[in-house]
Amino acid sequence: MKIAVDFHLHSKYSGATSGKMEIPVISKEAELKGLDFVGTADVFHPLWLSHLKKTLEKIEEGTFETGGVRFIITVEVEDNRRIHHLIILPSLSKVKELYEEFKKYSSDIDKDGRCHLSLGGNEIVERVKSAEGIIGPAHAFTPWTSIYAEYDSLRDCYKEYFDKIDFLELGLSADTDLADYISELKNLTFMSNSDAHSPWPHRLGREFNILSVEEKTYSEIVKAIKRKNGRNFVMNVGLDPKLGKYHRTACIKCFKIYSLEEAINRKWRCSCGGRIKKGVYDRIMELKDKENNHPDHRPPYMRIAPLAEIIALKRGCKVFTRGNTAIYEKFLQKFKNEIDVLVNVEYKELEEIDKEIADFILSYREGKICITPGGGGRYGSLNIMTRGLDNWII
């Protein structure tokens, strides 16, 4: 069986997160999106943990459900170098065990869903493994709070626990084509997750993973992450990296894009006076030590854009508004969920609902799109393309 999973999101108890990030809303929106599993997020926060216990039904150890959507226990933590790590745990008893251990090293574990720990990456891995959890670096290439922003190698961070890392999260500004320029990552499973701070369709599930498993359970998901017994990731699905906020090197004030050489020559100061931040693309090119040929286990990466953003763009809007919901609902009424619309439904069927939007979805699937790249903290933007006789014309 194939399941769609978004492992990384946040509750309303993390900073800069929507107050709507509660389980009933997340479950409803995840079902409309087409996600079979999502992460609980923020499981160390006492109020959020209480909410989880009230709203989720335990299916088996590590597997919970509400409203037809299943949940797996997850949390993101920040280490003593401000690097973020994504953790997946097997049970609520292990959550309690790890919470008690981490509380010794955190002043905000009861205040922020994404808590800070005065521990190094290797020390966090040691404790997660003692709690029978799995762990990997979150949004590994972004210029803030990521492992490759701070180090040139995973080994520098995780030290003697380097070979205990189970996965790597790509982040919105990278994909497998970019990450596979780095040889030390060849044996790791790559994840594409939303890191959603709100439950709405252009955020939740904007990146996700398709896994091949026997059952919708925690144990089967772990086997897929570890590529055991025929379980595996069969596709990473996410934004074109150019749409990410930090894909290109750019000013964090006016968002002007620079080449790496220009940024260095300007000593990382923009002409407007703002700070220039190194982009994911340039960072990966610095770390590149091989061609981006993929290991045999690496699944394809499908680039998509949220359906809400496609509709807004075709309607000439910058954001998805109430006036655009009718066409969005038509697609979901016909095809049940957004992931099927974006990934699986045949063009001819989509065309019956709206030809222009069907054209755009097809162009995205075929990689025939035009994108103004993001950088400096501003998302990239899609540009309308019209199908010509022999090629696509802007």
**Where are the domains positioned within the chain?**
2-241, 305-393
Q: Is 60 exceeded by the pLDDT of residue 164?
A: yes
- Would you list the DSSP string of 304-355? ---HHHHHHHHTT-SS--GGGHHHHHHHHHHHSSHHIIIIIS-HHHHHHH-H
Mean pLDDT value of segment 70-74:
98
* pLDDT for 304: 87
Q: Can you read off the two tokens belonging to residue 156? A: 């520098």
Q: Is 50 exceeded by the pLDDT of residue 392?
A: no
In this prediction, residue 389 has a pLDDT band, given cuts at 50, 70 and 90, of: very low
Weakest mean pLDDT among 7-21, 52-66, 128-142, 355-369:
355-369
Q: Distance between CA 291 and CA 269 in Å, rounded?
A: 32
Q: Is 60 exceeded by the pLDDT of residue 346?
A: yes
Weakest mean pLDDT among 81-90, 101-110, 160-169, 297-306:
297-306
In the block, residue with structure tokens 């990731």? 233
Mean pLDDT value of segment 315-340:
82
When the pLDDT of each residue in the chain is averaged and rounded to a whole number, the result is: 94
Mean pLDDT value of segment 55-67:
97
In this prediction, residue 235 has a pLDDT band, given cuts at 50, 70 and 90, of: very high
Domain 2-241: give its CATH code.
Answer: 3.20.20.140
Weakest mean pLDDT among 181-185, 189-193, 306-310, 320-324:
320-324
- Residue pair 252/274 in contact (Cβ under 8 Å)? The answer is yes
The pTM assigned to this predicted structure is 0.94
- Residue pair 8/137 in contact (Cβ under 8 Å)? The answer is no
Mean pLDDT value of segment 376-389:
70
* pLDDT for 101: 98
Q: Is 50 exceeded by the pLDDT of residue 391?
A: no
- Residue pair 222/267 in contact (Cβ under 8 Å)? The answer is no
Weakest mean pLDDT among 148-157, 227-236, 271-280, 366-375:
366-375
Q: Distance between CA 26 and CA 202 in Å, rounded?
A: 13
Weakest mean pLDDT among 30-44, 190-204, 290-304, 312-326:
312-326
